[in-house]
Chains A and B, each alone.
Chain A
Amino acid sequence: EAQVTQNPRYLITVTGKKLTVTCSQNMNHEYMSWYRQDPGLGLRQIYYSMNVEVTDKGDVPEGYKVSRKEKRNFPLILESPSPNQTSLYFCASSPPLGTSGRYRTDTQYFGPGTRLTVL
Protein backbone atom coordinates (compact mmCIF):
# COMPACT_ATOMS: atom_id res chain seq x y z
CA GLU A 1 0.00 0.00 0.00
CA ALA A 2 1.29 3.42 -1.00
CA GLN A 3 1.65 5.51 2.11
CA VAL A 4 3.51 8.03 4.21
CA THR A 5 4.28 6.86 7.73
CA GLN A 6 5.31 8.84 10.78
CA ASN A 7 6.68 7.75 14.15
CA PRO A 8 5.87 8.25 16.89
CA ARG A 9 2.22 9.15 16.54
CA TYR A 10 2.10 10.67 20.01
CA LEU A 11 4.95 12.05 22.10
CA ILE A 12 5.11 13.89 25.39
CA THR A 13 8.52 15.26 26.31
CA VAL A 14 10.19 17.94 28.40
CA THR A 15 11.85 21.17 27.45
CA GLY A 16 15.36 20.72 26.09
CA LYS A 17 15.31 16.97 25.49
CA LYS A 18 16.32 16.30 21.89
CA LEU A 19 13.85 14.33 19.82
CA THR A 20 13.40 13.04 16.29
CA VAL A 21 10.16 12.41 14.44
CA THR A 22 10.65 10.01 11.56
CA CYS A 23 8.88 10.15 8.21
CA SER A 24 9.05 7.52 5.51
CA GLN A 25 7.32 7.11 2.16
CA ASN A 26 7.21 4.08 -0.14
CA MET A 27 6.14 5.86 -3.34
CA ASN A 28 9.60 6.85 -4.57
CA HIS A 29 8.62 10.51 -4.29
CA GLU A 30 11.35 13.08 -4.63
CA TYR A 31 9.64 15.94 -2.78
CA MET A 32 9.02 15.69 0.96
CA SER A 33 7.89 18.31 3.42
CA TRP A 34 7.06 18.95 7.07
CA TYR A 35 4.11 21.03 8.29
CA ARG A 36 2.84 21.96 11.70
CA GLN A 37 -0.81 22.52 12.51
CA ASP A 38 -1.91 24.84 15.29
CA PRO A 39 -5.47 25.77 16.27
CA GLY A 40 -6.79 28.68 14.24
CA LEU A 41 -3.67 28.83 12.06
CA GLY A 42 -4.12 26.00 9.58
CA LEU A 43 -0.96 24.21 8.45
CA ARG A 44 2.37 25.94 7.93
CA GLN A 45 5.44 24.53 6.21
CA ILE A 46 8.54 24.00 8.36
CA TYR A 47 11.10 22.51 5.93
CA TYR A 48 11.05 20.79 2.59
CA SER A 49 13.33 18.65 0.48
CA MET A 50 13.32 18.42 -3.29
CA ASN A 51 15.60 15.39 -3.36
CA VAL A 52 18.34 13.58 -1.47
CA GLU A 53 20.73 16.04 0.21
CA VAL A 54 18.59 19.01 -0.97
CA THR A 55 16.65 20.73 1.81
CA ASP A 56 15.38 24.25 2.40
CA LYS A 57 13.43 26.31 4.90
CA GLY A 58 9.71 26.79 4.78
CA ASP A 59 7.73 29.47 6.56
CA VAL A 60 8.41 28.47 10.20
CA PRO A 61 11.84 26.75 10.39
CA GLU A 62 13.09 28.17 13.70
CA GLY A 63 13.93 25.46 16.23
CA TYR A 64 13.87 22.60 13.72
CA LYS A 65 16.39 20.67 11.65
CA VAL A 66 15.94 18.11 8.90
CA SER A 67 18.08 15.74 6.89
CA ARG A 68 17.54 13.80 3.67
CA LYS A 69 20.14 11.09 3.34
CA GLU A 70 17.83 8.62 1.62
CA LYS A 71 15.00 9.25 -0.78
CA ARG A 72 12.37 7.53 1.34
CA ASN A 73 13.17 9.14 4.72
CA PHE A 74 12.90 12.73 5.93
CA PRO A 75 13.29 13.01 9.72
CA LEU A 76 12.38 16.14 11.67
CA ILE A 77 14.76 16.95 14.50
CA LEU A 78 14.08 19.17 17.48
CA GLU A 79 17.47 19.77 19.13
CA SER A 80 16.08 21.59 22.17
CA PRO A 81 12.28 21.47 22.18
CA SER A 82 10.32 24.27 23.81
CA PRO A 83 6.63 24.48 24.81
CA ASN A 84 5.83 26.65 21.77
CA GLN A 85 6.67 23.65 19.62
CA THR A 86 3.71 21.75 21.05
CA SER A 87 1.73 21.04 17.91
CA LEU A 88 0.42 18.48 15.44
CA TYR A 89 3.08 17.66 12.85
CA PHE A 90 2.51 16.31 9.37
CA CYS A 91 4.94 14.90 6.88
CA ALA A 92 3.96 14.96 3.20
CA SER A 93 5.43 13.72 -0.05
CA SER A 94 4.79 14.40 -3.71
CA PRO A 95 5.78 13.03 -7.09
CA PRO A 96 7.37 15.37 -9.62
CA LEU A 97 5.19 16.96 -12.24
CA GLY A 98 5.99 17.54 -15.87
CA THR A 99 8.99 16.94 -18.05
CA SER A 100 9.96 20.50 -18.85
CA GLY A 101 13.19 20.26 -16.93
CA ARG A 102 11.97 22.65 -14.30
CA TYR A 103 11.19 20.69 -11.17
CA ARG A 104 7.63 21.03 -9.91
CA THR A 105 5.71 19.07 -7.36
CA ASP A 106 2.26 17.70 -7.78
CA THR A 107 -0.37 16.87 -5.19
CA GLN A 108 1.04 16.23 -1.74
CA TYR A 109 0.06 13.16 0.26
CA PHE A 110 0.14 13.39 4.01
CA GLY A 111 1.20 11.07 6.79
CA PRO A 112 -1.12 10.38 9.74
CA GLY A 113 0.34 13.13 11.94
CA THR A 114 2.39 13.24 15.14
CA ARG A 115 0.95 14.91 18.21
CA LEU A 116 3.84 16.46 20.15
CA THR A 117 3.52 17.95 23.63
CA VAL A 118 6.51 19.74 25.17
CA LEU A 119 6.19 20.36 28.91
Chain B
Amino acid sequence: AQTVTQSQPEMSVQEAETVTLSCTYDTSENNYYLFWYKQPPSRQMILVIRQEAYKQQNATENRFSVNFQKAAKSFSLKISDSQLGDTAMYFCAFMKHYGGSQGNLIFGKGTKLSVKP
Protein backbone atom coordinates (compact mmCIF):
# COMPACT_ATOMS: atom_id res chain seq x y z
CA ALA B 1 0.00 0.00 0.00
CA GLN B 2 1.11 3.52 -0.68
CA THR B 3 1.74 6.00 2.12
CA VAL B 4 2.45 9.73 2.09
CA THR B 5 4.26 11.47 4.94
CA GLN B 6 4.43 15.17 5.64
CA SER B 7 6.79 15.60 8.57
CA GLN B 8 6.13 19.29 9.23
CA PRO B 9 2.72 19.80 10.89
CA GLU B 10 3.18 23.58 10.94
CA MET B 11 5.48 26.12 9.34
CA SER B 12 5.68 29.86 9.14
CA VAL B 13 7.42 32.25 6.75
CA GLN B 14 7.75 35.98 6.39
CA GLU B 15 5.99 37.64 3.50
CA ALA B 16 8.18 37.79 0.33
CA GLU B 17 10.51 35.04 1.56
CA THR B 18 10.85 31.46 0.32
CA VAL B 19 9.64 28.36 2.11
CA THR B 20 9.93 24.65 1.34
CA LEU B 21 7.38 22.05 2.44
CA SER B 22 8.53 18.44 2.64
CA CYS B 23 6.78 15.29 1.48
CA THR B 24 7.99 11.71 1.27
CA TYR B 25 6.08 8.72 0.01
CA ASP B 26 6.38 4.99 -0.13
CA THR B 27 5.34 2.92 -3.13
CA SER B 28 6.40 -0.04 -5.20
CA GLU B 29 4.87 1.51 -8.32
CA ASN B 30 7.16 2.86 -11.02
CA ASN B 31 4.69 5.20 -12.69
CA TYR B 32 2.50 7.54 -10.70
CA TYR B 33 1.43 11.13 -10.18
CA LEU B 34 2.19 13.44 -7.29
CA PHE B 35 0.19 16.52 -6.37
CA TRP B 36 0.22 19.41 -3.98
CA TYR B 37 -3.20 20.72 -2.97
CA LYS B 38 -3.83 23.90 -1.00
CA GLN B 39 -6.68 24.24 1.48
CA PRO B 40 -7.23 27.84 2.62
CA PRO B 41 -9.55 28.74 5.51
CA SER B 42 -12.49 28.49 3.11
CA ARG B 43 -11.73 24.71 3.11
CA GLN B 44 -11.80 24.52 -0.70
CA MET B 45 -9.25 22.03 -2.07
CA ILE B 46 -7.22 23.80 -4.75
CA LEU B 47 -4.68 22.11 -6.99
CA VAL B 48 -1.29 23.82 -6.74
CA ILE B 49 0.96 21.65 -8.85
CA ARG B 50 1.15 18.22 -10.49
CA GLN B 51 4.15 16.00 -11.27
CA GLU B 52 4.27 12.88 -13.41
CA ALA B 53 6.83 10.41 -12.08
CA TYR B 54 8.18 9.46 -15.52
CA LYS B 55 9.12 13.09 -16.21
CA GLN B 56 12.51 14.03 -14.83
CA GLN B 57 11.90 17.75 -15.15
CA ASN B 58 10.51 19.33 -12.01
CA ALA B 59 7.10 20.95 -12.41
CA THR B 60 6.69 24.70 -11.91
CA GLU B 61 3.62 26.93 -11.70
CA ASN B 62 4.49 30.60 -11.29
CA ARG B 63 5.83 31.00 -7.72
CA PHE B 64 5.40 27.30 -6.95
CA SER B 65 7.93 24.65 -7.89
CA VAL B 66 8.74 21.14 -6.79
CA ASN B 67 11.90 19.19 -6.14
CA PHE B 68 11.06 15.65 -7.22
CA GLN B 69 13.62 13.03 -6.23
CA LYS B 70 12.26 9.72 -7.47
CA ALA B 71 14.98 7.49 -6.02
CA ALA B 72 14.61 9.11 -2.63
CA LYS B 73 10.79 9.14 -2.94
CA SER B 74 10.75 12.79 -2.03
CA PHE B 75 8.48 15.52 -3.40
CA SER B 76 8.99 18.93 -1.77
CA LEU B 77 7.12 22.13 -2.62
CA LYS B 78 8.94 25.46 -2.80
CA ILE B 79 6.94 28.66 -2.56
CA SER B 80 8.87 31.73 -3.64
CA ASP B 81 7.96 35.34 -2.79
CA SER B 82 5.42 34.14 -0.22
CA GLN B 83 2.19 36.11 -0.06
CA LEU B 84 -0.40 36.45 2.68
CA GLY B 85 -2.85 34.56 0.46
CA ASP B 86 -0.57 31.52 0.60
CA THR B 87 -1.61 30.97 4.20
CA ALA B 88 -3.32 27.58 4.10
CA MET B 89 -3.03 23.89 4.82
CA TYR B 90 -0.99 22.13 2.14
CA PHE B 91 -1.52 18.48 1.30
CA CYS B 92 0.79 16.23 -0.65
CA ALA B 93 -0.97 13.43 -2.55
CA PHE B 94 -0.02 10.33 -4.55
CA MET B 95 -1.96 8.62 -7.31
CA LYS B 96 -1.14 5.44 -9.22
CA HIS B 97 -0.71 5.60 -12.98
CA TYR B 98 -2.48 2.33 -13.73
CA GLY B 99 -4.23 -0.55 -12.09
CA GLY B 100 -6.87 -1.12 -9.43
CA SER B 101 -8.02 1.91 -7.46
CA GLN B 102 -6.02 4.04 -9.88
CA GLY B 103 -7.96 7.23 -9.14
CA ASN B 104 -7.60 6.98 -5.38
CA LEU B 105 -5.62 9.96 -4.15
CA ILE B 106 -3.54 9.03 -1.11
CA PHE B 107 -3.05 12.14 1.01
CA GLY B 108 -0.54 13.12 3.64
CA LYS B 109 -1.78 14.65 6.88
CA GLY B 110 -0.97 18.16 5.78
CA THR B 111 1.31 21.08 6.68
CA LYS B 112 -0.24 24.24 8.03
CA LEU B 113 1.60 27.22 6.53
CA SER B 114 1.30 30.70 7.98
CA VAL B 115 2.64 33.66 6.05
CA LYS B 116 3.42 36.58 8.38
CA PRO B 117 3.41 40.23 7.30
- Write the B84-107 contact mask toward A (1 if CB under 8 angstroms, else 0): 000000010101011001111101
User: Beta-carbon contacts of A91-114 to B below 8 Å, as 1s and 0s?
Assistant: 010100000001111011110110
- Known A-B contacts A42-B107, A43-B107, A48-B104; the reply to A110 vs B45 at CB < 8 A is yes
Instruction: Write the chain B residue with the least CB distance to A31.
Output: B103
Scoring A31, A107, A112 by chain B CB atoms within 10 A of each residue's CB, the highest score goes to A107
Find chain A residues with CB under 8 A from B102 CB.
103-105
Closest to B4 in A: A42
**Contacting residues of chain B (27-84) with chain A, CB-CB under 8 angstroms:** 33, 35, 37, 42-47, 50
Question: A residues within 8 A CB of B37?
Answer: 110
B109:A108 contact, CB within 8 angstroms:
no
Question: A25 at interface (Cβ–Cβ under 8 A)?
Answer: no
Which one, B45, B101, B108, contacts A58 given CB within 8 A?
Answer: B101
Contact between A40 and B43 (Cβ–Cβ < 8 Å)? no
Interface size on A, residues (CB 8 A): 29
Asked if A50 and B103 sit within 8 Å, CB to CB, the answer is yes
**A86 CB to nearest chain B CB (Å):** 15
Interface residues of A in 51-102 (CB under 8 A from B): 56, 58-59, 88, 90, 92, 94, 102
* Residue ranges of B at the interface with A (Cβ–Cβ < 8 Å): 4, 33, 35, 37, 42-47, 50, 91, 93, 95, 97-98, 101-105, 107-110
Other A-B pairs beyond A107-B50, A113-B44, 18, CB < 8 Å: A33-B103, A33-B105, A42-B107, A43-B45, A43-B93, A45-B105, A48-B103, A56-B101, A59-B104, A88-B43, A92-B45, A92-B105, A104-B102, A108-B103, A110-B44, A110-B45, A113-B43, A113-B45
